Amino acid sequence: MKFLLSGLLVIFMLACSLPSTVPTEIATAVTEEAPTEIITATEAVIQHEIIPVNLPNERNSHAGDFDSSTTADKKSAAGGDRFTFGRFERPFNANTMDTYFPEIDIVDTMVYQDETWIYGEITVKGNETQTLNGKYALELDLDLDGKGDWLVIANSPTSTDWSVAGVQVYQDENHGVGDLSAMYTDENAASTDGFEKLVFDQGQGEDADSAWVRISPSDLNTIEISVKRSVLGNPEKYLINMWAGHSLLTPGLFDINDHFTHEQAGEADPGLEIFYPIKEVAEIDNSCRMAVGFQPTGFEPGLCEVFVPNEVVSSPQGCKANPRQILACTFNSDPSYSCNWNKNSCSCECEFIGPK
């Protein structure tokens, strides 16, 4: 017992003689680790009030898209790729086009809505693994001028349950999307910042329930994205199109065809020998734009082909023409020519760009 008491006394004396402060390197480590634990705990507890359930029974719009699996062996898109008009059918790797990505090849799109939500449904070609490791997005144009106002983007959905994981909502608050001319490639590369304002990030934002994503329980190659109407200002009418892609599908690069020249972007059609194959603009696909809540005139930029009356109508620039004339001009089927509608002369002007 005597030895034990002596030992305790020595330990006590040594402890009293130690510095009263924690060594600097240890104090720093403790200080840096503690906030991380607090942040992680806070982010893990997101209180959701409203979660989407099932999509409405009746759709509000529908647009199919090209299935490039049918021409992948030829290193070519099945159709619909018009870089200068902001239409992309490029589910291939750059330069060689010898790798086809079925998880980003859109083959069908649908729009649904109810009092609370706008839903976009994107069906991709998919593969046997049914791995959806791409980015999927809805672009909404609320003032119908051809320039997107909102982008709802979801990254690599994995569950058939609604989730906010990987979902972000961006707004183009400074109206830079589209640069000078909506949908059409501008002469000089854009210096604009695309969808620059992040208003929702995986449950973080003014409304934790702003947007959601899930894989459709009835089709594992279909992605369903929902966004609250109130987040967008409760629009009664809008144009909407959908996107799928990999790294290039980035909010800051909209409109994509304003940030690259045609030479930089390349072409997915071997018939356009001047630009073929695709180069810097690769691994991306989008749909045409669907009109929801209004009857389109046919002059809306990027609009899907729809039935329009045969009578002559006036365009916003005052040119009188049948909308079908303009559609037939800008979406001409001969890849040897690049055609544009001249609003001043009300005529279709085409330039020979190469052999078929």
pLDDT of residue 345: 67
Q: What tokens appear for 75 in the block?
A: 């290193």
255 in Cβ contact with 176 (< 8 Å): no
In this structure, what is the dihedral angle of CA atoms 99, 101, 107, 108, given to the nearest 10 degrees? Answer: -160
Distance CA 211, CA 153 (A): 9
Residue 257 has pLDDT above 60, yes or no: yes
Residue 285 has pLDDT above 50, yes or no: yes
258 in Cβ contact with 264 (< 8 Å): no
pLDDT tens digits for range 202-226? 999 999 999 999 999 999 999 999 9
In this structure, what is the dihedral angle of CA atoms 122, 199, 144, 346, given to the nearest 10 degrees? Answer: -90
* Of the candidates 159, 146, 315, 319, the residue with the CA atom closest to the CA atom of residue 241: 146
pLDDT of residue 299: 83
pLDDT tens digits for range 111-122? 999 999 999 999
Domain extents in the chain: 61-306, 308-356
299 in Cβ contact with 314 (< 8 Å): no
pLDDT tens digits for range 83-98? 999 999 999 999 999 9
* Dihedral sign for Cα atoms in the order 199, 43, 120, 152: positive
* Of the candidates 141, 224, 220, 245, the residue with the CA atom closest to the CA atom of residue 183: 141
Across the range 244-267, mean pLDDT stands at 95
Higher pLDDT, 178 or 329: 178
Higher pLDDT, 10 or 252: 252
Tell me the three state secondary structure of residue 302: coil
Distance CA 83, CA 109 (A): 20
Q: How far is CA 46 from CA 116, 129, 224, 309, in A?
A: 20, 31, 22, 50
Residue 342 has pLDDT above 90, yes or no: no
* Of the candidates 255, 253, 242, 254, the residue with the CA atom closest to the CA atom of residue 286: 242
Distance CA 131, CA 159 (A): 11
Beta bridge partners of residue 119, listed in sequence order: 112, 226
Residue 19 has pLDDT above 70, yes or no: no
Share of the chain above pLDDT 90, in %: 62
Element of type H or E holding 36: helix 24-44
Element of type H or E holding 121: strand 117-124
Distance CA 41, CA 206 (A): 19
Give CA angle at 23 (22, 26), nearest 5°: 90
